[in-house]
């Protein structure tokens, strides 16, 4: 074979990119994908936080509770009711929301409305900073006698995941505005962290009572943990009423 022929054949051989070029191409592609992921994360957080020109997602306004049920601060029902139901809850907890929306309304109708029981809500901020902020915001709402309205709107507007912006401070302020609160007073209360220590105190109280999950209820002397049914609440309340009828002692909160 002549040198000229061999030269022509060598020129026809396909060229392959060098190993270094192939490596650079892979790295460049991975970097571009990483940037895209970061952009998506930032955009999703912006939507939740209501930053920039984005509009916060629609606020669900729950049906108001019966106006004839007395309430004072974090207590729902007649202060002299013989049975006290103490509720330890985290506003980001989905099981807490289930009990609050499906089970407690039956308890309220059957026992709270007629003065046989009262419910006292206490915060346990287990699930992160938005649990803490939501608990503080609920206490700020209590200053304006709107604790239970705020309790309901929090559970009606939980996010898909914990600490995903559903209870950002901007959203918490939007809830207050939706409920007709004095937003100047409410916003100042939340921004200055007025109830940080109060929420911390109930966290410590829950720890002392060996509460390690939410929701946890104490119906008099009976502890109910988790998303219990109305039947289980009814049994505990009736047992407590029977006990009080025998001893004549009123349960203290």
Q: CA–CA separation, 29 vs 38, rounded Å?
A: 14
- Domain of residue 149, residue span: 71-247
Peptide bond into 93 cis (omega under 30): no
Within a domain: residue 54?
A: no
Same domain, 82 and 28: no
Same domain, 41 and 84: no
The residue ranking higher by pLDDT, 26 or 114, is 114
Q: What is the CA radius of gyration of the chain?
A: 29
- pTM for the model: 0.74
Same domain, 95 and 212: yes
203-230 pLDDT tens trace? 999 999 999 899 999 999 899 999 999 9
Number of domains making up the chain: 2
Please say if the pLDDT value at position 131 is more than 90. yes
162 band by pLDDT with thresholds 50, 70 and 90: confident
pLDDT of residue 149: 97
Within a domain: residue 253?
A: no
Same domain, 158 and 206: yes
Q: CA–CA separation, 120 vs 104, rounded Å?
A: 12
The length of the chain is 253
Please say if the pLDDT value at position 44 is more than 50. no
């Amino acid at each position: 074979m002549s040198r000229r022929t061999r030269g022509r054949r060598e020129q026809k051989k396909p060229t392959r990119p060098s190993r270094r070029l192939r490596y650079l191409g892979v790295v460049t592609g991975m970097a571009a994908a990483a940037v895209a992921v970061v952009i998506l994360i930032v955009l999703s957080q912006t939507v939740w936080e209501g930053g920039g020109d984005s509009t916060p997602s629609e606020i669900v306004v729950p049906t108001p509770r019966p106006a004839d049920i007395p309430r004072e601060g974090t207590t729902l029902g007649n202060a002299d009711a013989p049975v006290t139901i103490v509720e330890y809850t985290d506003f980001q907890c989905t099981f807490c929301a289930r009990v609050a929306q499906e089970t407690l309304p039956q308890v309220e109708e059957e026992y709270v409305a007629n003065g046989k029981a009262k419910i006292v809500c206490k915060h346990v901020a287990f699930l992160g900073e938005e649990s803490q902020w939501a608990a503080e915001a609920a206490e700020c709402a209590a200053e304006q006698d709107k604790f239970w309205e705020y309790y309901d709107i929090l559970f009606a507007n939980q996010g898909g995941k914990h600490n995903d912006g559903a209870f950002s401070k901007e959203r918490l302020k939007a809830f207050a505005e939706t409920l007709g609160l004095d937003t100047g007073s409410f916003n100042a209360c939340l921004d200055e962290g007025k109830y940080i220590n109060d929420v911390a105190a109930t966290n410590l109280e829950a720890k002392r009572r060996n509460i390690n999950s939410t929701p946890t209820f104490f119906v008099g002397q009976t502890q109910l943990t988790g998303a219990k049914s109305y039947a289980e609440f009814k049994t505990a309340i009736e047992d407590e009423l029977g006990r009080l009828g025998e001893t004549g002692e009123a349960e203290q909160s």
